[in-house]
Amino acid sequence: MQAGVYVENLKNPGAKVQLSDRFYQECLTTLGGAAENSAMVLDDRGEVLFCNDEAAMIFNSTPEDLAGRHLNEFVLNIRLNAWSPASNVAYAAFSGSRNQWREYCVLDSHGEGFPVELELDVLTVNLRSLILLWVRTPARRVLSAGFEA
């Protein structure tokens, strides 16, 4: 992850401010060296605060293009609602406690859909509950006869 390219939405959806380097470093410290893994951090409303290059590459995008967008804009059928931040955090905490990867359809910048696997969890930084989103490409499933699905 690179500092300086990540933004956070304020109450005015059109206004954006750069995240402080201190907040960014505290997120990385809390993640425990996950910079080499594909990860995104969302606010409690489901808007992307930042993501690393690996996650952006899976989404066929860049960290700059994803920052500030709501997850529902590019991940179909994910249960995050901008109007219910407390239930978003509760849902992420429940999903994270079960260590469940789920497959979702994602839209790239051209509107083309493709599958990714996501795992939600909660990340607490400065007494603020954020949503941690792990991202990976789906593993190919091998059927009992040895054929790939």
Q: Which residue has the higher pLDDT, 97 or 44?
A: 44
- The amino acid occupying position 40 is M
pLDDT of residue 103: 92
The helix/strand/coil state of 69 is: coil
Structure-model confidence comparison of residues 21 and 54, the more confident one? 54
DSSP one-letter code for 147: -
For 60, the token pair is 């066929």
18-31 pLDDT, tens digit each:
455 666 666 666 66
Burial 33-59 (b: 16+ CB within 10 A, else e): ebeeebbbbbbbbbbbbbbbebbbebb
- pLDDT score, position 86: 92
Q: Which residue has the higher pLDDT, 55 or 29?
A: 55
Q: Around Cβ 63, how many Cβ atoms within 10 Å?
A: 21
Bridge partners of residue 135, in order along the sequence = 118
108 pLDDT band (50/70/90 cuts)?
Answer: confident
Extract the tokens encoding 58: 């899976």
Between the CA atoms of 55, 61, 64 and 68, what dihedral angle is there, to the nearest 10 degrees?
-80
Short-list 73, 32, 39, CA closest to 56: 39
Comparison of pLDDT for 28 and 106, the residue scoring more? 106
The closest of 99, 115, 118, 98 to 107, measured between CA atoms, is 115
Q: What pLDDT score was predicted for residue 11?
A: 43
Mean pLDDT confidence for 7-36:
54
